[in-house]
Amino acid sequence: MMKAVDDDRQLADFLNNEVASWDNERPRSQQVTLGPSELGGCREFIRATVAQDPGLPETGFKAAAFMGTAVGDMIERIFGERLMAILQREVSIQMGRTGITVAGSADAIIPPTVSKRVAKGSRVFEILAGGLVLDIKSKDGLAEIEKYGASLENLIQISVYLVGAVAEGLLSKDSYGVLLYVDRSGSTKRFTTITIDYDEATRWIDLAEERLMDVDEVLAKGSPEEDRWALRDKSPAWCFAVQCPFRENCWGGSEHRPTGQITHPDELEAVSRYVTARDLEKQAIELKAAANKSLAGVAGITPDGTTVSWTSTGRRDPTGEPAMRLDVRVQR
Give the CATH number of the domain where residue 235 resides. 3.90.320.10
pLDDT of residue 32: 41
Is the pLDDT at 19 greater than 80, yes or no?
A: no
161 and 59 in a single domain? The answer is yes
What mean pLDDT, rounded, does the chain reach?
Answer: 86
199 and 219 in a single domain? The answer is yes
236 and 284 in a single domain? The answer is no
- Residue 107 maps to a domain: yes
| Structural element, H or E, at residue 112 | none
313 and 289 in a single domain? The answer is no
Contact between residue 244 and residue 234 where contact means Cβ atoms under 8 Å apart: yes
pLDDT of residue 279: 85
201 and 93 in a single domain? The answer is yes
Domains identified in the chain, total number = 3
90 and 165 in a single domain? The answer is yes
221 and 279 in a single domain? The answer is no
Which residue among 251, 278, 313 closes a domain?
251
Which residue among 197, 217, 251 closes a domain?
251
146 and 127 in a single domain? The answer is yes
Closest-CA residue to 179 (of 123, 128, 134)? 134
pLDDT of residue 23: 66
100 and 89 in a single domain? The answer is yes
As a whole number of angstroms, the distance between CA 326 and CA 306 comes to 13
- Residue 1 maps to a domain: no
Q: Enter the pTM of the model.
A: 0.73
- Residue 256 maps to a domain: no
Which residue among 192, 224, 251 closes a domain?
251
In the three-class reduction of DSSP (H, G, I as helix; E, B as strand; rest coil), residue 250 is classed as helix
Instruction: Select, from the ranges 18-22, 80-84, 121-125, the one with the highest average predicted confidence (pLDDT).
Output: 80-84
Mean pLDDT of 266-293: 86
- Residue 19 maps to a domain: yes
32 and 168 in a single domain? The answer is yes
Q: For the chain, where are the E strands, in sequence order?
A: 86-94, 101-110, 132-139, 176-183, 192-197, 300-301, 307-316, 322-329
Is the pLDDT at 282 greater than 60, yes or no?
A: yes
Q: Which residue range(s) make up the domain with 135?
A: 12-251
Confidence of residue 313 (pLDDT cuts 50, 70, 90): confident
As a whole number of angstroms, the distance between CA 77 and CA 185 comes to 19
- Residue 208 maps to a domain: yes
- Residue 141 maps to a domain: yes
Confidence of residue 3 (pLDDT cuts 50, 70, 90): low
Contact between residue 195 and residue 154 where contact means Cβ atoms under 8 Å apart: no
- Residue 279 maps to a domain: yes
Contact between residue 164 and residue 125 where contact means Cβ atoms under 8 Å apart: no
Contact between residue 29 and residue 23 where contact means Cβ atoms under 8 Å apart: yes
Closest-CA residue to 201 (of 164, 233, 148, 146)? 164
Instruction: Select, from the ranges 50-59, 223-232, 288-297, the one with the highest average predicted confidence (pLDDT).
Output: 223-232
- Alpha helical stretches, state H, 233-264: 236-241, 247-251
Mean pLDDT of 84-111: 90
324 and 240 in a single domain? The answer is no
- Residue 122 maps to a domain: yes
In the three-class reduction of DSSP (H, G, I as helix; E, B as strand; rest coil), residue 257 is classed as coil
In the three-class reduction of DSSP (H, G, I as helix; E, B as strand; rest coil), residue 132 is classed as strand
163 and 190 in a single domain? The answer is yes
